């Protein structure tokens, strides 16, 4: 698959694709499930189109993402009743944290995305 999509006009990196991490960040999806109602809330942020691109993009790229085939999990089984579980997904990987066990840098990112993007309510299991 060739990379022929136009790059964002404000990307001041290399044009050969070697700096793809800083040229295109893609979407950041934060899902929160659990709580009393068991509702699933989803925040979907297109980083490249966001006015917060220069602030959030590098932050997302620098986080310790695991390999694409596996998800980093913390607190999945010990999250407790009525606690939230967050799944955070980007082009860099997928992570899953129980609310109480989420590391500070991930918690900061989630708070930032929740301030910027409007949540969408979904039924569990629905895409």
How much is the pLDDT for 72? 56
> Distance (Å, rounded) from C-alpha 74 to C-alpha 96?
6
**Cα torsion 112, 89, 35, 42: sign:** positive
Q: What is the pLDDT of residues 87-125, one digit of tens each?
A: 999 999 999 999 999 999 999 999 999 999 999 998 766
pLDDT greater than 50 at residue 78 = no
> Distance (Å, rounded) from C-alpha 127 to C-alpha 8?
28
What is the domain partition of the chain in residue ranges?
Answer: 25-122
Pairing of the two strands 84-90 and 120-122: unpaired
Nearest to 9 by CA among 24, 19, 30: 24
Average pLDDT, the chain: 77
Of 17-21, 31-35, 39-43, 104-108, where does the model show the most confidence?
104-108
> Distance (Å, rounded) from C-alpha 62 to C-alpha 44?
19
Where residue 70 falls among pLDDT bands split at 50, 70, 90? very low
């Amino acid at each position: 698959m060739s990379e022929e999509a136009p790059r964002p006009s404000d990307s001041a990196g290399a044009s050969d694709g070697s700096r793809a991490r800083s040229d295109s960040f893609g979407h950041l999806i934060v899902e929160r499930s659990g709580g009393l109602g068991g509702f699933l809330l989803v925040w979907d942020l297109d980083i490249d189109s966001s006015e917060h691109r220069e602030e959030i993009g590098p932050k997302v790229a620098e986080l310790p993402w695991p390999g694409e085939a596996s998800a980093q999990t913390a607190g999945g089984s010990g999250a407790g009743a009525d606690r939230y579980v967050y799944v955070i997904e980007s082009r860099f990987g997928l992570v899953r944290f129980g609310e109480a066990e989420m590391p500070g840098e991930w918690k900061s990112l989630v708070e930032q995305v929740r301030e910027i993007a409007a949540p969408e309510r979904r039924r569990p299991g629905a895409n």
